[in-house]
Amino acid sequence: MKRSAILLLFFAAALPLVAADRVFEKTIPVPRTRDAELNWNHEGCEIDSLTLRNYPDEEDIEKARREDPNDKTWLWWEFNVSNRGNTKCKIRLEVEVLDKKGAVMKQTDRSATVGPGERDDEIRVSTLMKTLDIVDASKVRIRAEVRPK
């Protein structure tokens, strides 16, 4: 009885370690001009990098400052993913845009399935936010959870 209780405690303590292996989090500067390397991998399911698409150009920023501070921009957080495993995997992605104090300005998420053998696939997470908010944003916190489908 004592031995089985010890084994049960051992396995219960190991569960968070197994779950943590498939959950990733990273806070990075907003990737305005280049890709952010992530290099996350769980059992062949990979999240390689993040590219921010449709970041406002200087003309859009000046127009928002001059004419409409409530102007909004659609942003696409494009994750480059692959599945080198033999089974489908489900990826849940979450993006939090942070202000200079670290408070969340905008949060969005999306889940998608990546089939076995898929290479250089993309998962886009979209966000509609004020143009001046993304310009003033300091960092972005990215979370991902990878699990078999």
User: Using CA atoms, how far apart are residues 90 and 147, in angstroms rounded to an integer?
Assistant: 5
Instruction: Tell me the pLDDT of the chain (149 aa) as tens digits.
Output: 555 544 444 444 444 444 457 899 999 999 999 999 999 999 999 999 999 999 999 999 999 999 999 999 999 999 999 999 999 999 999 999 999 999 999 999 999 999 999 998 999 999 999 999 999 999 999 999 998 77
Q: Which pLDDT does position 10 carry in this prediction? A: 46
Residue that is written with structure tokens 């004592």 in the block: 2
Enumerate domains of the chain plus CATH numbers.
Answer: 24-148 (2.60.210)
User: Using CA atoms, how far apart are residues 9 and 15, in angstroms rounded to an integer?
Assistant: 10
Q: Considering only CA atoms, which of 28, 55, 77, 67 is closest in space to residue 133?
A: 55
Q: Which pLDDT does position 1 carry in this prediction? A: 54
Residues 6+ apart with CB under 8 A from 128: 72, 73, 74, 75
106 vs 7, 10, 68, 91, 102, CA distance in Å? 44, 40, 19, 20, 12
Dihedrals φ, ψ of 2, to 5°?
A: -65, -40
Q: Which pLDDT does position 130 carry in this prediction? A: 97
Q: What pTM does this model have?
A: 0.83
Q: Which pLDDT does position 21 carry in this prediction? A: 72
